[in-house]
Chains A and B, each alone.
Chain A
Amino acid sequence: MSRKVRIAQLSCGPEYSGVQKEIYEAAESVDAEVFFPDIALADVERAVDTFGLDVRSADLKLMIARGKALVDGTVDADGVFIGTCFRCAEAAIVRNELRRYIHEHSRLPVVSYSFTERTTAGTLLTRMEALTTIAHRRALLAREEQTGITMGVDSGSITTKAVVMKDNEIVGTGWHPTTEVIKSAESAVADALEMAGLTREDIQAIGTTGYGRFLIGKHLGADLVQEELTVNSKGAVYLADHQRGSATVIDIGGMDNKAISVIDGIPGTFTMGGICAGASGRFLEMTAKRLGVDITELGPLAMKGMGVNVPMNSYCIVFGTQSLVNALAAGSSREDVAAAACHSVAEQVFEQQLQEIDIKEPVIMVGGTSLIEGLVYAMGQLLQTEIVVPPHSQYIGAVGSALLASGFIKGE
């Protein structure tokens, strides 16, 4: 029996917010255990002095001391979970600086999260799963080449994607809106196989990811069922041909967004947001619908407009849509409104998530929204860098799954 993955918890407030149990449950569900690094009381003030951040809250001082112990190697861990109360400014400073400090001075994967009393184990599951994957499956994540014939299926909240790969080439793709999870997957798989000219029997290994990964994985008899943080990181650097060194992966999804700081294809720090749909692909979908264009036409439309002409500064998808309607009623052009919507989503991701990871070039945008060129342009403007959108970027999860699944082919 393999040893449980040990996740060090550095936190302030979860036990008083009533969510510590949720953290324990999320860890247990991915066969990991959460522990608090042991620190001598005398070491706390010393560690805070050395760290140089003069905070007043004792639990934050303890967080710093525990973080330093992990970096110094006096406490062993496989990953780090940093959690503090949502809306606490003092804690947010510590959370960010500690996350950066651990990332820069160790190889430990770190996830940071700000919780409320509404945080559930389900919310934390994907993050904990990613931590355990990075700790447990480093050898698998080191894979840089796809071999044999494999298939990857990404069951997302809006679309289901399937990819068939053969000898390091994508030979078939399928894409269907997610309605009934299994039916949508079956349709995407059928399209990918047909395009590849292959049958299910030809597939040597299958990997699944996305929200429906467990259900689809069971249905397809998948060899690998894995969360989308590690899979998408792997897929992104593979497609962008940047498997070594640092990179940043941004995936603005239908329901949540992922921002991942990657080193050699493995996530170092990552955030997974989703507090508000105003910063998601769903908002762009609603914008396209309101403008009477297909989502595929929104990007080119936005490129012709000037977003600054339309005030759109709400974080809420409902009020954001209202701003959009008001702007159209006031005579704004559809192009300007499309550009403003793209800028609004990019800005929210920039403000809420990209501040929590270290941006290192190249910045790779993936997922279906990466095809919306107005959004990519807006993100590039905000980050003052040229964004890389690799080919097949919309199939990122499926490609990452197919690539990693080849590690499960017999004899591999």
Chain B
Amino acid sequence: MAKVFIYPATSLILSDLVARFGHKPLGAALGIRERIQTAGVDSPPLQITPEEPKRGLKYAAVEVPSGVRGRMAIYGPLIEEAEAAIIVTDADLAFGCMGCARTDELILFSLRQSGIPILELKYPANEEEGVQFVAAIKKFLDGLENGGET
């Protein structure tokens, strides 16, 4: 079972696909769950405190907006942990979105720099493309080292 970073990280469909094909999806749900389960932190809605943008300094300089650094404090460690990644570009908002275009750029750059296997796909525009989309993801996940046959 490989740890697969998903982009958009908030995509439940992508997360579900990765899990169904026997791998561990690394995305927003994981990053946020960890914070919500941290006792003693009271910073709704995501339990992100002003400490996160400071931790994000590991991934982006101080002149980068706090919102980008806060996001990177969540996604940066997941990218470091990832053994593979699936990137879906031009996704519909309903499929999942990261909110901030600057964070998008930094995450995609970090993934491409990491040297892990990456599958980059364009969001399907019709049913036929949708079938090919799922098939490509399945093929990629099946081919991962230590990948799970489902």
Interface string of B97-111 (1 = CB under 8 A from A): 111111010000000
> Which candidate, B14-22, B38-46, B115-123, B135-143, is the interface stretch facing chain A?
B38-46
Q: In this assembly, does B53 line the interface, its C-beta being within 8 Å of a C-beta of chain A?
A: yes
Structural contact, A16 and B70, CB atoms closer than 8 A? yes
**Which residues on B sit within 8 Å (CB–CB) of A86?**
65-66
Structural contact, B48 and A85, CB atoms closer than 8 A? no
Q: Nearest-CB distance from B28 to chain A (Å)?
A: 11
Q: In the complex, how many residue pairs between chain A and chain B have their CB atoms under 8 Å apart?
A: 100
How many chain B residues touch A (Cβ–Cβ < 8 Å)? 31
The residue from B54, B66, B98, B101 contacting A115, defined by CB atoms under 8 A apart:
B66
> With the chains together, A149 CA to B143 CA distance in Å?
85
Q: In this assembly, does A20 line the interface, its C-beta being within 8 Å of a C-beta of chain B?
A: yes
Q: In this assembly, does B63 line the interface, its C-beta being within 8 Å of a C-beta of chain A?
A: yes
Of B43, B52, B99, B104, chain A has the most CB atoms within 10 Å of the CB of B99
Structural contact, B64 and A87, CB atoms closer than 8 A? yes
Q: In this assembly, does A118 line the interface, its C-beta being within 8 Å of a C-beta of chain B?
A: yes
Structural contact, B93 and A17, CB atoms closer than 8 A? no
Interface string of A45-61 (1 = CB under 8 A from B): 10000000001111101
Of A20, A41, A115, A117, chain B has the most CB atoms within 10 Å of the CB of A117
Structural contact, B102 and A117, CB atoms closer than 8 A? no
Q: In this assembly, does B114 line the interface, its C-beta being within 8 Å of a C-beta of chain A?
A: no
> With the chains together, A12 CA to B101 CA distance in Å?
11
Q: Nearest-CB distance from A89 to chain B (Å)?
A: 9
Q: Nearest-CB distance from A45 to chain B (Å)?
A: 8
**Which residues on A sit within 8 Å (CB–CB) of B44?**
20-21, 24
> With the chains together, A246 CA to B100 CA distance in Å?
36
Interface string of A1-43 (1 = CB under 8 A from B): 0000000000011111111110010000000000000000100
How many chain A residues touch B (Cβ–Cβ < 8 Å)? 30
Structural contact, A57 and B99, CB atoms closer than 8 A? yes
> Whose C-beta in chain B lies nearest to the C-beta of A22?
B50
**Which residues on B sit within 8 Å (CB–CB) of A55?**
101
Q: Nearest-CB distance from A33 to chain B (Å)?
A: 13
Assuming A18-B53, A115-B66, is B100 touching A12 (CB within 8 A)? yes
Q: In this assembly, does B51 line the interface, its C-beta being within 8 Å of a C-beta of chain A?
A: yes
Assuming A57-B100, A57-B101, A58-B98, is B46 touching A16 (CB within 8 A)? yes
> Whose C-beta in chain A lies nearest to the C-beta of B8?
A58
The residue from B49, B63, B64, B94 contacting A18, defined by CB atoms under 8 A apart:
B49
Q: In this assembly, does A44 line the interface, its C-beta being within 8 Å of a C-beta of chain B?
A: yes
> With the chains together, A368 CA to B128 CA distance in Å?
71
Q: Nearest-CB distance from A209 to chain B (Å)?
A: 30
Q: Nearest-CB distance from B125 to chain A (Å)?
A: 15
Q: Nearest-CB distance from B5 to chain A (Å)?
A: 18
Structural contact, B45 and A13, CB atoms closer than 8 A? no
**Which residues on B sit within 8 Å (CB–CB) of A16?**
46, 48, 52-53, 66-68, 70-71, 74, 99-100
> With the chains together, A19 CA to B66 CA distance in Å?
10
> With the chains together, A91 CA to B70 CA distance in Å?
16
The residue from B43, B51, B93 contacting A21, defined by CB atoms under 8 A apart:
B43
**Which residues on A sit within 8 Å (CB–CB) of B68?**
13, 16, 85, 88
**Which residues on B sit within 8 Å (CB–CB) of A61?**
93
**Which residues on B sit within 8 Å (CB–CB) of A13?**
65-68, 70, 99-100
Q: In this assembly, does A90 line the interface, its C-beta being within 8 Å of a C-beta of chain B?
A: yes
> With the chains together, A17 CA to B53 CA distance in Å?
6
Q: In this assembly, does A123 line the interface, its C-beta being within 8 Å of a C-beta of chain B?
A: no
> Whose C-beta in chain B lies nearest to the C-beta of A36?
B45
**Which residues on A sit within 8 Å (CB–CB) of B102?**
57, 88, 90
Structural contact, A117 and B50, CB atoms closer than 8 A? yes
> Whose C-beta in chain A lies nearest to the C-beta of B65?
A85
Structural contact, B50 and A17, CB atoms closer than 8 A? yes
The residue from B51, B54, B66 contacting A85, defined by CB atoms under 8 A apart:
B66
Q: In this assembly, does A116 line the interface, its C-beta being within 8 Å of a C-beta of chain B?
A: yes
6 closest residue pairs by CB, A with B: A13-B67, A85-B65, A16-B70, A56-B101, A17-B66, A59-B99
Measured CB to CB, the residues of B under 8 A from A are 42-46, 48-54, 63-71, 74, 93-94, 97-102, 104
**11 further contact pairs, Cβ within 8 A, besides A18-B49, A85-B67:** A13-B100, A16-B48, A17-B65, A18-B52, A19-B66, A58-B99, A61-B93, A116-B53, A117-B54, A117-B66, A117-B69
